[in-house]
Amino acid sequence: MESMLTLLWPEIALFITTCVVMILGQSKFKDTRDLCPGLAAIGLIVSGFLAWYFRGVTSDAVLPHLPYYGKLVICGVGLMLLMLVAGSADRELEADAAKGKPFEPIRSTRGEFYSFVLFSLTGLMLCTSANDLILLFLALELTSLPTYVMVSISTNRNRSMEAGVKYFFLGALGAAIFLYGFAMIYGGTGTTNFEDISRTVAAQAAGGGINPLVILGVVLSLVGLGFKIASVPMHFYTPDVYQGSSSSVAGFLAFVPKAAGFFAILSICGLVGWSHGVTEQSLPEGPRVLLWVVAALTMTLGNVLAIMQRSVKRILAYSSIAHSGYMLVGVIAGPGPSGADFERNGIAAVLFYLVSYGVMTIGAFAVLACLEKKRSDGSLDEVDDIDDLRGLARTRPVLGWTMVLSSMGLLGLPPLLGFLGKLPLFTAGIGAKEIILVLVLGINSAIAAYYYLRLAYTCFIESPETTPNAPKVVEAPFAARRWAGVISMLCVVGLAVFGSWLGNLAEIGATYRPPKYVQPAAAVVPVSAPTP
Amino acid sequence: MNHMLMPVLAQGPAPELMSGVTLYHYLAVSGAMFVIGLIGFMTRRNLIIMFLCTELMFQAAGIALIAFGRFHLNHSGETFVIFVLTVAAAEAALALGLVILLFRRKETLDGTRWTELRG
């Protein structure tokens, strides 16, 4: 119990910051209101420090070091996300206030917006330290619920409302499905504690086979969690929601729910363990086949549909779907033989790729968030069409290069971060003898080249728009977003060269402690009912 | 003393009326509720009805959890249900807020009327 509390210090720090930010956002004074993003950043840094300070504390789930790795990277990527979303809320209201109108706290969404960002990140951290089905369910909901509101309030347009409602309804459906799965896992094992569940499942597997209820539960949980990571059959909301929300919030959605989904999927798969099948190194047949089919379909569908899009946000949404498919290969491969190094360890590959995907996609969304279209009547609109990016590397070199490097990174071009992340997925897949799936992964990486190269080509080689009536592309007045893009660009190059420490960290995070089969204690004799 | 009494109560003879009810009956009800909710979600287009369908699925899980809790003679299932109810209430509040926002803009609850996002 004591160690569980120590484990939760980063979440506690973040939660306290959340409450303070929510109150400060309603302040009458502009200086106080402007403290919100800075305070949120300080909260994230403090909680990252706490995660590092308590690095020796392990959770008693099957992935004992996941909280340490997870919380550190959540704080790092969370800071970038904070820079990306900074300034989204209350833009019109602040403009009015600058003109001398009194500030109306009731119409303000600034406090809520920043605290929802932090709430969502707190939930994400809780997903890593969850050691119980109840806690995992609550953590997943805490991650998702704030994002539904963030989508709805991200812009004033009808599109955002529609996106928010779509996202919410499908999110509720996904939550109901994985909740039912959790209920089945509880039914099949009689406990909600991860350690006890994995021990019971190991005992069942040793003695005649896993309870079918557990398998059904795991399958349902994986389908429900598919909503969070945007995998087939729960993927179709993704392009609509990304397009409907503002670019910065879309960048948030690309990382946070996906990371939560993958942490949860790794925990759930860890419950049944990668010690089944012919090689004794794969998941039980039911979940394995499900994940195999879902992974293959997800990456193929994502990449093929991305080719046909013109809207950059939709392209990035389909790319997000495809990347979930890639990462599922690592989940199927599992931890490999005990003591496997980074190349054979699928879990380490997933954890590493999650961070690299987050960093790269934040760069792409930051470029979109930095630009605005000015129509002839003076109204501002978001940059979304791929033509708006033409010649960006010439007109705005920093943004243009960020876009080029992000899309090349997402493509997985060799010297960049994406390649470094994708390689272990391939090797882990081959190590687990999933040759066909690895082939699908390879073919998909080739298909993906088409639209990533198109993004890079548009920015880099095509000449800027010169038609007189075309809407003018101007820069949005948010310096922080530009910095988010620059940091992402530096990471895409820098982590590829100096990324071995992150790889080592991912390897620590992926430490897998297979459940020990213990001789069951003598069954508790049920107390017989007194007969009247 | 409570410790000793608890299993006795849990395993004691059920009231006459429910004497034939086993775990499978509860699971059948819960499964039926889950499937009805799923089908309703897929086929109906009224936003409130769609939300009620997801609530139906949540409560189906709740019934299964309580039945399993009684079957395994521990309280984890009931504890889980209390948290599920809390989350369901939070979701309901969120859903009503979003639906009211939508209704103010278009005066309809029909989900098919909102089709700005297509690709």
pLDDT by position in tens, chain A (length 532): 567 888 999 999 999 999 999 999 888 888 888 889 999 999 999 999 999 999 888 888 888 899 999 999 999 999 999 999 987 777 777 777 778 777 777 777 888 899 999 999 999 999 999 999 999 999 999 999 999 999 998 888 888 888 999 999 999 999 999 999 999 999 999 999 999 999 999 999 888 889 999 999 999 999 999 999 999 888 989 999 999 999 999 999 999 999 999 999 999 999 998 888 777 788 898 999 999 999 999 999 999 999 999 999 999 999 999 999 999 999 999 888 776 677 889 999 999 999 999 999 999 999 999 998 887 777 788 888 888 888 888 889 999 999 999 999 999 988 899 999 999 999 999 988 899 999 999 999 999 999 999 999 998 888 877 666 677 888 888 889 999 999 999 999 998 888 888 988 998 888 888 877 666 555 554 444 444 4
Q: What order of strands is seen across the sheet that includes strand A472-475?
A: A380-382, A371-374, A472-475
Cβ pair A180, A220 in contact under 8 A: yes
Q: Do B68 and A168 touch (CB under 8 A)?
A: no
In chain A, the residue whose alpha carbon lies closest to the alpha carbon of B97 is A149
Other CB atoms within 10 Å distance of the CB of residue B109:
15
A161 contact residues in B (CB cutoff 8 A):
98, 101-102, 105, 114
- At A71, give phi and psi (nearest 5°): -70, -35
Q: What are the extents of the domains in chain B?
A: 47-108
| Nearest alpha-carbon partner for B109 in B42, B47, B52, B50 | B47
pLDDT at A304: 95
Which string of DSSP letters, residue by residue, matches A60-114? SSSSTTHHHHHHHHHHHHHHHHHHHHTT-TTHHHHHHHHTTPPP-TTT--HHHHH
Residue pLDDT, tens place only, A349-364: 999 999 999 999 999 9
In chain A, the residue whose alpha carbon lies closest to the alpha carbon of B79 is A134
Q: Which of B34, B68, B117 sits opposite A159 (nearest CB)?
A: B117
Asked whether the predicted pLDDT for residue B6 surpasses 50, the reply is no
Q: Which of A152, A184, A527 sits opposite B8 (nearest CB)?
A: A527
Choose from B76, B78, B100, B103 for mutation: most chain A CBs within 10 A: B76
Q: Which of residues 51-90 of B touch A (CB under 8 A)?
A: 51, 54, 57-58, 60-61, 64-65, 67-68, 71-74, 76-77, 79-80, 83-84, 87, 90
Q: Do B94 and A191 touch (CB under 8 A)?
A: no
CA B77 – CA B37 distance, rounded (Å)? 21
CA A391 – CA A293 distance, rounded (Å)? 40
Q: Which of A134, A159, A168 sits opposite B80 (nearest CB)?
A: A134
Q: What is the ipTM of this complex?
A: 0.89
> For helices A247-272 and A66-85, what crossing angle results, to 10°?
170
What sign does the CA torsion over A228, A230, A232, A236 have? positive
Q: Do B99 and A165 touch (CB under 8 A)?
A: yes
Q: Which of B13, B68, B83 sits opposite A134 (nearest CB)?
A: B83
**Burial class, A56, CB count within 10 angstroms (exposed 0-12 / middle 13-18 / buried 19+):** exposed
| Nearest alpha-carbon partner for A342 in A507, A511, A509, A508 | A507
pLDDT at A491: 93
pLDDT at B12: 55
Q: Which two tokens stand for residue A455?
A: 């993004």
The H or E element containing residue A382 is strand A380-382
- At A486, give phi and psi (nearest 5°): -65, -45
Distance set, CA A362 to CA A58, A91, A268, A399, A415 (Å)? 30, 21, 28, 12, 19
Q: Do A169 and B54 touch (CB under 8 A)?
A: yes
Interface residue A240 vs chain B (CB under 8 A):
yes
In chain A, the residue whose alpha carbon lies closest to the alpha carbon of B54 is A173
CA B53 – CA B40 distance, rounded (Å)? 6
Residue pLDDT, tens place only, A33-66: 888 999 999 999 999 999 999 988 888 888 889 9
How big is the A-B interface in CB pairs under 8 Å?
A: 138
CA A124 – CA A230 distance, rounded (Å)? 16
